[in-house]
Every structure is written in structure tokens, then in C-alpha cells.
Amino acid sequence: MDILLASSNKHKKEELEELLRPYRIHLPEELGIHFECEETGTTFEENALLKALTLIEMTQGITDMPVLADDSGLIVDALPGELGVHTARFGSKDGVTVLPAAQKNMLLIKRLEGVECEKRGATFHCVLALVERNGKKTVVEGLSRGRILEQPDGIGGFGYDPVFFNNEAGCPNSALGNDKGRYSHRGKAARMMKECLDRLVQT
């Protein structure tokens, strides 16, 4: 099955294609479509469905591929409301500009300065939403629980990986390497979505 991803992010395409093999993932630009969607939802699920439904509408009559969308983020217990659906724009003064990952990581550490270890809990969320051409919607969510470190640890991964200690793996996300798909929020969501896709192609 070929699936259209509601994103222009090639890195995300490669990651999801690896996690969802043998399903093939395509970007809108491969169909000559420039995809943008204002994420106005207040939850990860709302934003994922918003992106998927927007691209479904944009590609009516162009392709029969179902559309897959992802919305992910980090929720930090000690900073309620500051990240979540705003994770990518954390620290942005205008609410639009996306700061470099290293800058966001240092800002997060600074915001938690003096917070005790047991109160530095955080959870990565990933919602994947699949919308079929008949309008059927499938939504799954993967979670990864951990805590925010007092200093970045490692250079692997991307985004907040160097400052997120993964409880299940017992190490920072930046140290997971090829095991990241096993422990990450997106890896867990992708495995659930793959089960849904397997059932879909069998019907």
C-alpha cells in the first residue's frame, strides 16, 4: 500500500517509512503539491486529524492514497501548558519562529533550574491519524515516559533527545541509536498503526 504523508519533512518520511515497512510513504511534493496546515488544535489528536483531513481535501481527484498525519510533542510535568502542542515553538517570542534544538534544550534546562529530580517528569506523545478516501479515521497514540536531565547528554537523535532520559530504556534518547524505534513514542505509535494497516489490507 502507498500512503500519503501530511508533511513536507523528509526526515519524518524516512523515519515512518522505516517503522511502517513494507508500506510506502510519499510526500505531497511528489504529487506537485505544496502542503501547509495551520495547527490550530488544542490536542495532538486534533492537530493530527486536522492535517490529515486538510491533505485529503487538497488531493481529491489527484490520488486514491490514504493520508497519514503525525502530531507529536513533549509534556513536562513542572511546566504545564508550556510545551505540548507548542513543543516545536517552545521559547519563541512571536509564537511562530522555531528556535534551534540546542537553544530550546538549554532554555528547557534553565526553566527547570532548581527542580528536584523526582519532579522533572516528562512524557513524549505521538498521535498518528490515518484518513481513508471513504472518510474512515484511525487514530493511535504512543507514549514514552521519562524525565528532563539537568544537562544535555550525548549528541545522537534530534530535538529534545539529548535532554530526555527514557525510563523504559534506562538512558537518554540520544543514546538509543538503532533501538530508538523500540522505545520512542513515534515507534510505539507506528507499531500500533502498522497493525491497523495490516488489518486494512486484509479486508
What DSSP state is assigned to residue 193? H
Per-residue pLDDT at 178 exceeds 90:
no
pLDDT at 104: 95
**pLDDT, tens digit (0-9, with 9 covering 90-100), for 10-24:** 888 998 999 999 999
Q: Which domains does the chain have, with CATH numbers?
A: 2-202 (3.90.950.10)
pLDDT at 16: 93
CA distance 84 to 80: 8
Per-residue pLDDT at 94 exceeds 90:
no
Positions annotated as catalytic residues are 71
CA distance 126 to 164: 15
CA distance 79 to 122: 9
First to last CA, the chain: 13
Higher pLDDT, residue 96 or 112: 112
- Angstrom CA distances, 138 to 17, 45, 131, 132, stand at 18, 11, 7, 9
pLDDT at 93: 87
**What mean pLDDT is predicted for residues 89-101?**
88
Per-residue pLDDT at 181 exceeds 90:
no
**What mean pLDDT is predicted for residues 156-171?**
92
Side by side, the strands of the sheet bearing 2-5 are 24-26, 2-5, 67-76, 121-131, 137-148, 164-166, 171-172
pTM: 0.92
- Percentage of the chain beyond pLDDT 90 is 85
CA distance 130 to 6: 10
Mean pLDDT of the chain: 94
CA distance 194 to 130: 11
Per-residue pLDDT at 203 exceeds 80:
no
Helices (H), the chain: 10-19, 44-58, 101-111, 180-183, 185-202
CA distance 114 to 119: 10
**pLDDT, tens digit (0-9, with 9 covering 90-100), for 133-160:** 999 999 999 999 999 999 999 877 788 9
Per-residue pLDDT at 28 exceeds 80:
yes
Residue 24 dihedral angles phi and psi, to the nearest 5°: -100, 130
